[in-house]
Structure 1
Amino acid sequence: MKSNFTKASGRNLHVLEKGQRLPRRYRSDAIYATIGSEIKCDQEIFDSYSYEGWKDIHHDLLIVCAAVEYADRRWSRARRKWARHIHVTIPVLELPIWLDANVQQNLHGTLRHLTGDEWQFSFVQNENGETDKPRQRPLFPKQYKEFAIAYSEGLDSLCVSGLHNENDVAVCVRVSKHKQRCRKGERPFDRLPFDVSVKPSAEDSVRSRGFKFAAITAIAAHLSNVSRIIVPESGQGALGPVLLPLQNIYPDYRNHPTFFRRMEQFIQTLLGIGITYEQPRLWYTKGQTIAEFLAKPGVKASQIIDTRSCWQQRANVRIDGKLLQCGVCAACQLRRMSLHAAGIEEPSEAYTVTNLKAEQFADALPKQNNFKVTATLYDYGYMGARHLQQLSDFAAEPDRALRPYVFELAEALGASMGDIQMHLRDMLRRHSEEWATFAAAQGEQSFLKLWTKGGRHG
C-alpha cells in the first residue's frame, strides 16, 4: 500500500521480540522497543485472557495496541501542526493476515481518524510462536452473556453497567493497567495485559487510548461469543470534545460514533467477526444517567459516590499522601455538576479543591503546608469551566451551526438528519440547564462563576 511519507520522516519505531538484540545495522533515526522491556506483557494477565477461542491473532492485536501507544507517546506534536508521520515495525505471529490490504487500510484509516496522524506499518514474522499452549475452558460455563462493556472506576461505567446488567449478562473488561477493586462480573478481564514504558514520554494527548480500549474489549467479546459492545460514555463526554475541540486542536473522537464505525470495519477484516459498538447513553447527559441508575431499587447514593472521575495522578491531587480527585479539571467539574443535577451531595473531603464558592481560586486550595499548587491545576480548572460553558452556549446555536455535526452523526448512526438534530439539541439543552443551575449554586462572586464568563484570577 502506497504512503505519502517515508521511513525517513524521523518517527520510526521498531518493536523487537522478547530477548532479541538490536540489529548490527540498526537505523540511527529509529527508536527500538523490546517486548518484555519497554513493552511489558504480564504473563499472568495474558493467561487470564487465554480461554478456549484464544488465537495468535489476539496476541498480535495486543502487541499492535502496545506499539501504537508507545509511538503515540514517544513523539511530541509540533506547535503549529497537529499531525505526525509515524512508521512502526511490529513482529506478529499471523503475518499473512496483517499483510492483507484490507486489514492495513482499515488499520490506517481507524488510527488516522482517531489520532489525526498518518500511520504506516511494516509487519514481520514473530519467530517465538510462544502462544501455542492449551487453553482454559470454558470461559463462562453455563452462563448466558449478552454484551461486553469497557469498565473503569468512573460514574458512567458504574451507572450504565447497572442499567443494562441486571441478570449478570455483561462481560466486564477492566480498562486499567492496575488491579483494582473487583465488582460483580468483572473477572476474568480485570486488567490490561500490557504496560508501556516510554522514556522520554514527550506527548500527553495519547489519543490512541481509544484504540486500545476498543480493541481489548473486542477481544473479550470474541472470546465470550458476544457480538455487542456497550460504550458507557454519556453525551457530553462522547460528543463534546468533537463539537468544541480544546483550543482548536484536532477533535477527540475516542467516544464518537464515527470512530466506532471504523473500528467495527477493522475488527471485521482482522478477526472475521461482526461486532457492534452501541452507545445507549449518547443522547443523555451524565446527570440523567446517574439519576436513572439511582432510581433503580436497591441503589444507594454511596455506590455512586464511591467512583473516580479525575484522571490526574500527580502530586497536585494528593493531600498527606492520599490520592484525591482534583475537583476542578473538566472531568471533575462534569462529575460535580452531574451529581448536583441528580441530587447527590458528596463529602467535602472527596476533592483537593473543595470549595467552588470561594471568591479566589487560592482560597479554595487545601491549607496543608505540604500541598503545592501548580499552574497546571489552575489551567485545567479554567479550561474545564470554559469548555462546559461553551458547550452550554452551543445549545443556543442555530440549526445551520449544528448541521456539519448532525450530518456526520447521521451517517455514522444510520439515522435521519432530522432525528439526529432533535436528539443532539435536546442533549445540549439539558446540559445547558444542568450547568447553569450548578454554576448559579456556587454564587455570583465565586471564582467558578467568573471562569464561566471568561475571567481569570488566582
Structure 2
Amino acid sequence: MTRIVFHVHVDDVPDPRSANDVHVVLYGAGRMPDGVGRIGYQLMDATSRFGFGLRSKAFDFLTLALAVTAADTFVSRNGAPDRWSRDLELHIPLIDPGRWMPVVGKLEAALRFLSGDRWTLVLGPDGPLPPSQSVVSRRRRLIDLSRADCACLFSGGLDSYVGALDLIGQGRRPLLVSHSYPKDSQYQNRLVRRLPIVCERFAANAHPTWSGGSDVSMRTRSFNFLAYGVAAASVISLWRGGGEADLWIPENGHIALNPPLTPRRFGAHSTRTTHPFFLSEIQDIVRAVGLPVRLTNPLRHQTKGTMVRRHASDATFSALAATTVSCGKWKREGVQCGRCVPCLIRRASFFAAGLPDGTPYRADDLRNVLGDENTRDDLVSVLRAIRRSEDYDMEAWVLQAGPLPSDAEERSAYVDVFRHGMKELQGFLRASGIP
C-alpha cells in the first residue's frame, strides 16, 4: 500500500519523511521541497471568480478530487504487483469531514470502478478553505452568473461542442466548465468564441507537480472534471435561490459505455470516465452530502454519428467540427493520430453523417496502419469487435463494462446505441478499404 498524505501548508510537511509516503500540498503555490508534490494552485484564483464563496461541501468535493488526481498522478502503476492495480491510502483534510463519512465507502467503490485501483480514504479536519469574500471582492472580472442557468462540461471535444450547441438551441444558457490544460485551452477558446451566444466560462488546470515521476494513465481525470462541474452548478443553484441546478455531461453513448473490444481490454483497462454506473454513483454521493446538483448526459442514447448528423447542415458547425479534438494521444503528438479507438469512432461519425472530415490525422490511410505491427493494435481490436458483434449477445457485451440502469427503456437504449455505434465503425472501415 502507498500512503499519500495531504497538507494545507508546506510548513505542515514533516521532515524527515518516510520513503514509503508521498506528501502533497493542496492548492499549494511556489516551489516545494524535493519529493513533495503540489496540486490545484490555479483553483483558488479560478473559484474566486464565482463572485461569492463556494459552499464548504462543494469546496470539499474539489479537495477530494484534487487528492485523487494527485495520487493517480504521483504513484506509478509500474510499482503494483500486476503493474496496474495500485493500493492507495489517502489522508485528506476537509472542512467538514463528518458530512462525507457516510459516503466514504461508496466513493471508494466508485473510484475503484473508475480506475481499477483499491482506494482507502482517511478523512480529517482542518481542510483548506475556499477564497474568502474579501478576496472575491477584489476581483476585477467575475463570472456573470445572471447569464447562466446550468453548467456544462466543455472539453473542446466534438461531443462537448455538440452538447453546448444543443443547450443553446434549447434556449438554455450554459456556464461552460473546462479542465484547461495549456494545449487544450487553445482549441477550447476557439470554439467558445464561435458559439451562437456568449457563454460564461469556468476554466482551470489541476496541474499536479512534483520532482518525481508521473503516471500517464490518468484514469481518474473525469472525477476531477466532475468536481469542477459540481462546484459550478452549486454556485448557480445558490445564485438562483437554492433549487437543484443541472450539470450536463455531454458524451455519446458508445464512448460512455466503452465496452471492452477484446478480452485483453476487459474491466478498468477500458476507460469508464462517463459510464452510466459511475455517473449514477457520483450522483448519489452528491445528493447524499447535500449538493443540489443534477448530473445528466444528454447524448447517452446517441452515437457520435447521430450527434454529428443533427448539426451537419450548419456551415459553422461543419467548419469547426474538424478543429475539435477527440484523440487520446493528441497531447503527446500535437496532432490527432487517426488510429486510436476515439479517433476511429470520430472518423466513423463524420462518414455516417455524410460530412467531409477536414481533421488532419497523422495516420490518414488506415490501410497503411493495418500493415504496421507497431501501430495497428486499436484498429485490429475494432475489426475483431465488429466481427464479434454479428452474433454476440449485445446486452451481455455491454454489461462487461459495468452495470446498466434498472429501467428497461434505459437499458434497451444503451444496448441499441452500442449496436449502432459498431455499425458506424463497420461502414466507415469498409469504405476506407479495410475488410
Query: Structure 1-normalised TM-score?
Result: 0.77
Greater relative CO, 1 or 2 (CA 8 Å, sep 6+): 2
Residue in structure 2 matching 1:187, options 187, 200, 205: 200
Please report how far the alpha carbon of residue 127 of structure 1 lies from its aligned counterpart in structure 2 after TM superposition: 7.2
- Alpha carbons of structure 1 residues 149 and 21: separation in structure 2 relative to 1, 3 Å: same
- Alpha carbons of structure 1 residues 119 and 290: separation in structure 2 relative to 1, 3 Å: same
Please state whether the residue corresponding to 1:119 is helix, strand or coil: strand
2:432 — aligned with what?
A: 442
Residue in structure 2 matching 1:228, options 237, 246, 256: 246
Kindly provide the CA deviation profile for residues 83-128 of structure 1, in whole angstroms up to 9, marking residues without a partner as x.
Answer: 3221112233334434xx3132332232222223222223333377
- Alpha carbons of structure 1 residues 189 and 400: separation in structure 2 relative to 1, 3 Å: closer
CA distance in 1, matches of 2:164, 2:304: 14
Residue in structure 1 matching 2:166, options 163, 166, 182: 163
1:39 — aligned with what?
A: 38
Please list every run of 5 or more consecutive structure 1 residues that lacks an aligned counterpart in the other structure.
1-8, 318-322, 363-374, 444-448, 451-458
CA distance in 1, matches of 2:274, 2:130: 34
1:279 — aligned with what?
A: 297
CA distance in 1, matches of 2:58, 2:411: 39
Residue in structure 1 matching 2:355, options 339, 344, 352: 344
- Alpha carbons of structure 1 residues 66 and 406: separation in structure 2 relative to 1, 3 Å: closer
Kindly provide the CA deviation profile for residues 378-401 of structure 1, in whole angstroms up to 9, marking residues without a partner as x.
Answer: 44x422441365156335323673
Please report how far the alpha carbon of residue 442 of structure 1 lies from its aligned counterpart in structure 2 after TM superposition: 1.9
2:325 — aligned with what?
A: 308
The answer to whether the 8 Å contact 1:160/1:293 transfers is no
2:213 corresponds to 1:209? no
2:240 — aligned with what?
A: none
Please state whether the residue corresponding to 2:200 is helix, strand or coil: coil
CA distance in 2, matches of 1:261, 1:69: 20
CA distance in 2, matches of 1:330, 1:232: 18
Query: Which region of structure 1 is more displaced relative to structure 2, 25-34 or 233-242?
Result: 25-34
The answer to whether the 8 Å contact 2:257/2:401 transfers is no
2:370 corresponds to 1:356? no
- Alpha carbons of structure 1 residues 279 and 385: separation in structure 2 relative to 1, 3 Å: farther
Q: State how many pairs are aligned.
A: 403
Please state whether the residue corresponding to 2:132 is helix, strand or coil: coil
CA distance in 1, matches of 2:114, 2:163: 24
Identity rate, percent: 21
AA in 2 matched with 1:261: S
Please report how far the alpha carbon of residue 153 of structure 1 lies from its aligned counterpart in structure 2 after TM superposition: 1.5
The answer to whether the 8 Å contact 2:339/2:369 transfers is no
CA distance in 2, matches of 1:268, 1:421: 23
The answer to whether the 8 Å contact 2:305/2:349 transfers is yes
Please report how far the alpha carbon of residue 263 of structure 1 lies from its aligned counterpart in structure 2 after TM superposition: 0.4
The answer to whether the 8 Å contact 1:73/1:204 transfers is yes
AA in 2 matched with 1:351: Y
Query: Which region of structure 1 is more displaced relative to structure 2, 26-35 or 151-160?
Result: 26-35
Kindly provide the CA deviation profile for residues 302-359 of structure 1, in whole angstroms up to 9, marking residues without a partner as x.
Answer: 12112111132466x3xxxxx3211111111111111111112234x71112222448
Measured on the aligned residues, the alpha-carbon RMSD in Å equals 3.2
2:272 corresponds to 1:261? no
- Alpha carbons of structure 1 residues 92 and 390: separation in structure 2 relative to 1, 3 Å: same
Query: Which region of structure 1 is more displaced relative to structure 2, 397-406 or 160-169?
Result: 397-406
CA distance in 1, matches of 2:275, 2:262: 13
CA distance in 2, matches of 1:440, 1:177: 36
The answer to whether the 8 Å contact 1:148/1:230 transfers is yes
Please report how far the alpha carbon of residue 149 of structure 1 lies from its aligned counterpart in structure 2 after TM superposition: 1.4
AA in 1 matched with 2:336: Q
Please state whether the residue corresponding to 1:408 is helix, strand or coil: coil
Query: Which region of structure 1 is more displaced relative to structure 2, 433-442 or 390-399?
Result: 390-399
Please report how far the alpha carbon of residue 53 of structure 1 lies from its aligned counterpart in structure 2 after TM superposition: 4.9
Kindly provide the CA deviation profile for residues 276-327 of structure 1, in whole angstroms up to 9, marking residues without a partner as x.
Answer: 22122222210110111224x5644112112111132466x3xxxxx32111
CA distance in 2, matches of 1:106, 1:410: 17
- Alpha carbons of structure 1 residues 175 and 430: separation in structure 2 relative to 1, 3 Å: same
The answer to whether the 8 Å contact 1:109/1:262 transfers is no
Please state whether the residue corresponding to 1:326 is helix, strand or coil: coil
Please report how far the alpha carbon of residue 202 of structure 1 lies from its aligned counterpart in structure 2 after TM superposition: 4.9
Query: Structure 2-normalised TM-score?
Result: 0.81
CA distance in 1, matches of 2:43, 2:402: 45
The answer to whether the 8 Å contact 1:285/1:427 transfers is yes
AA in 2 matched with 1:281: L
Please state whether the residue corresponding to 1:268 is helix, strand or coil: helix
2:7 — aligned with what?
A: 16
AA in 1 matched with 2:286: I
Please state whether the residue corresponding to 1:126 is helix, strand or coil: coil
1:252 — aligned with what?
A: 271
The answer to whether the 8 Å contact 2:74/2:213 transfers is yes
AA in 2 matched with 1:18: H
2:93 — aligned with what?
A: 91
2:293 corresponds to 1:293? no
Please report how far the alpha carbon of residue 242 of structure 1 lies from its aligned counterpart in structure 2 after TM superposition: 5.5
The answer to whether the 8 Å contact 1:58/1:219 transfers is yes
AA in 2 matched with 1:190: A
Please list every run of 5 or more consecutive structure 2 residues that lacks an aligned counterpart in the other structure.
238-243
- Alpha carbons of structure 1 residues 420 and 223: separation in structure 2 relative to 1, 3 Å: closer
2:241 — aligned with what?
A: none
Please report how far the alpha carbon of residue 17 of structure 1 lies from its aligned counterpart in structure 2 after TM superposition: 2.3
Please report how far the alpha carbon of residue 247 of structure 1 lies from its aligned counterpart in structure 2 after TM superposition: 2.9
Please state whether the residue corresponding to 2:337 is helix, strand or coil: coil
The answer to whether the 8 Å contact 2:53/2:131 transfers is no
